[in-house]
Amino acid sequence: DVKVTQSSRYLVKRTGEKVFLECVQDMDHENMFWYRQDPGLGLRLIYFSYDVKMKEKGDIPEGYSVSREKKERFSLILESASTNQTSMYLCAAGRAPQKLFFGSGTQLSVL
C-alpha cells in the first residue's frame, strides 16, 4: 500500500519557535502538498511542490516556507510560530488528475 508518513501526530511549541513538520512518501510521486485544516474552513493549500527543489505558493503561504531536497521528502517550516498557526497540518502526495494520498496529520498547538 502507498504510504505518506508525517513525523509527528501531536506537537506543542511556543510562540517564536522555529518549527519543522516533516513528510515522507514512498510512491515516487512528483507532486507533494501541505494543507492546513481548520473547523469551518476545510483544507487550505499552503505550498505545493511538483519536483525536487521546486515549490509553488498556495492560497495561504504567509508565515510558512517549504523545503524539498529529495523527491520523497517535503518539509513545512514555520519560521517563527504564532498562535494563529495552531491547526491540523496535512501532507499529501499524488499526481493530478489521479487521487491524492494523505498522511494522518500533525496537530500543532502554538502556546
3-state secondary structure 59-110: CCCCCEEEEEEECCEEEEEECCCCHHHCEEEEEEEECCCCCEEECCCEEEEE
Residue 89's beta-bridge partner residues? 36, 106
Considering the rule CB under 8 A, would residue 54 count as an interface residue with another protein?
no
Q: C-beta of 50: minimal distance to another protein in Å?
A: 6
Of 8, 73, 100, 109, the one binding another protein by CB under 8 A: 100
Among residues 90, 93, 108, 110, the one that binds another protein under rule CB under 8 A: 90
Q: How far apart are the C-alpha atoms of 26 and 36, rounded to whole Å?
A: 22
User: Segment near another protein (CB under 8 A), from 13-21, 67-75, 76-84, 101-109?
Assistant: 101-109
Residues that bind another protein (CB under 8 A): 4, 31, 33, 35, 40-43, 45, 48, 50, 56, 58, 90, 92, 94, 96-97, 99-100, 102-105
